[in-house]
Structures are given as structure tokens and as C-alpha cells.
Amino acid sequence: MEKILGIDQLRPRLGKYLDEVEKGNIFIITSRSNPKGVLISYAEYEELKNQSEKARQAEIKATIDKVRERAEEAGYSEKDVQAEIDEVRSCEQ
């Protein structure tokens, strides 16, 4: 469960709140009643990073699949596309 915590409450008791996040608590940190950040455990942070990377990879794969589908519809083979890529790369060097 998320708890809202003002930065003035956080400063003097940071160690206590770090112990709480290790137990699974989440704190939304506010300054002047405006949300400014979130205090979560390192394990949760790592999980969010992993999920974000997986989502990014899935998005890239979907884009590549779409390009392959369009190339196929236009009559290009995988070899044709690779040849075009190789040609562009050789011009960049």
C-alpha cells in the first residue's frame, strides 16, 4: 500500500522509512503537497527496470515484425532487405 510522506517527515527518519520499504511499503514523497518522487525497495526498482527492458524489447520486436511484413507485402525477401542494410552501412564508413 502506498503512503504519502512529506519531505519534511522523511528527512529526520530516512533510516526508518528505508526499513519500511524493505518490508514492501511504498512511499510517495511530496514537497509542498506536490508529488516529487517515490521511495521503493531496491528489489522493486530492479524488477521495474527489468519489466521496462522487456517492454522495450517487445516493442522493438513488434516494429521489426511490422517492417518484415511490409517488406514481404512489397515483394522484398529477407535477403533483399539485408542487402539494402549492408549497402547503407558500407556507405556510412
State pLDDT tens for residues 19-60: 999 999 999 999 999 999 999 999 999 999 999 999 999 999
Q: What is the pTM of this model?
A: 0.67
Q: Which domains does the chain have, with CATH numbers?
A: 2-40 (3.40.1620.10), 45-92 (no CATH)
**What integer is the mean pLDDT of 2-30?**
95
| Residues with Cβ within 8 Å of residue 27, at least 6 apart in sequence | 2, 3, 4, 5, 10, 17, 20, 21, 38, 39
Buried (b) or exposed (e) across 15-24, using 16+ Cβ within 10 A?
eebeebbeee
Q: What Rg, from alpha-carbon coordinates, does the chain have?
A: 24
Q: Are 1 and 26 in contact (CB under 8 A)?
A: yes
* Whole-number Å distance between alpha carbons of 25 and 29: 13
